[in-house]
Amino acid sequence: MRSSQLAPPSRPAPPAPVVAAVVFTALSVFLLLLVAVEWRPLMSLDRTVGDALHDWAVSDPALTRTNRILSDWVWDPWTMRALVAVVFVWLLRQGERLLALWIAATSAVSALVQQGLKAAVGRERPEWPDPVDSAHFSAWPSGHAMTATVTCGLLVWLLVLRGADPRLRAAVLVVGTVSWVGVGVTRLYLGVHWVSDVVGGWLLGAAVVALSAVAYGRLVASREGSSV
């Protein structure tokens, strides 16, 4: 008997959104545990980076003002949510009611998860003798970083889902990457978040988008199957 006949049938690899959802969720939980137990190496990294960036911000008022504009206006969570609202209306006008509601719901769930974790973790924000900016509520995860990641991730996923022109997808991917990375950097530079807050926001945002994409794909598949 040939060896090939003895080999078990190969299983198809899980789709990319499923892998991404598992990986980003696991990393988010792992980081949350490190923050909750105040793992010393992580706390030391947070303090080292925070001290260096705060010294820079104090010594360069012009750059600090630029970061405040970017953080408070260009990449503010409400700016991101307004962008989601525009996409929501556009999808409704295109007749994509389910997709419009799905994206709006994902954005809303992301905000609820973010606020719930902030309340549960209750992490103190950085405190400086000469602060250059201020923020309220607890620090983990960074709301700016998470909201920007969710919004930009949803836009890229939407363009892929609708088969948009590759050049448009590439352009949105570049702008989105600059946005979610940039807003995280501004929050660190302004001294209102620790590094682990921002990374937590990025990871959680990516997990929310990946889980949303998986759930939407299964919903559509089940609806199509039931209509056959």
- pLDDT by 10-residue block (mean), the chain, 228 residues: 46 74 97 98 98 97 98 97 97 96 98 97 96 94 98 96 94 97 98 98 98 95 74
Q: Which residues of 118-156 are buried (b: 16+ CB within 10 A; e: fewer)?
A: beebebebbebeebbbebeebbbbbbbbbbbbbbbbbbb
Domain annotation covers residue 2? no
pLDDT recorded at residue 3: 44
How many of the other CB atoms lie within 10 Å of CB of 164? 13
Sign of CA dihedral 31, 32, 33, 35: positive
How many domains in the chain? 1
Q: What pLDDT, on the 0 to 100 scale, is given for residue 197?
A: 98
In a domain, 5, yes or no: no
Q: Is residue 219 part of a domain?
A: yes
Task: State residue 41's pLDDT score.
Answer: 98
7 belongs to a structural domain: no
- Which pLDDT belongs to residue 225? 73
Phi, psi of 119 (to 5 degrees): -65, -40
Which one, of 213, 190, 202, lies nearest residue 56 by Cα? Answer: 190
3-state secondary structure (DSSP) of residue 129:
coil
Tell me if 61 is assigned to some domain: yes
pLDDT at residue 226, as a whole number: 66
Whether residue 13 is contained in a domain is answered as no
Asked if the structure places residue 69 within a domain, the reply is yes
C-beta of residue 113 within 8 angstroms of C-beta of residue 32? no
| Any domain includes 194 | yes
CA distance to 108, 134, 203, per residue, from 209 (Å): 12, 29, 10
DSSP 8-state symbol, 208:
H
Q: Could you list the residue range(s) of the whole structural domain that residue 77 is in?
A: 19-123+132-227
Other Cβ atoms closer than 10 A to 220: 14
pLDDT at 1: 44
With CA atoms as reference, report the closest residue to 146 among 76, 201, 200, 209.
Answer: 201
Q: Can you give the pTM of this predicted structure? A: 0.92
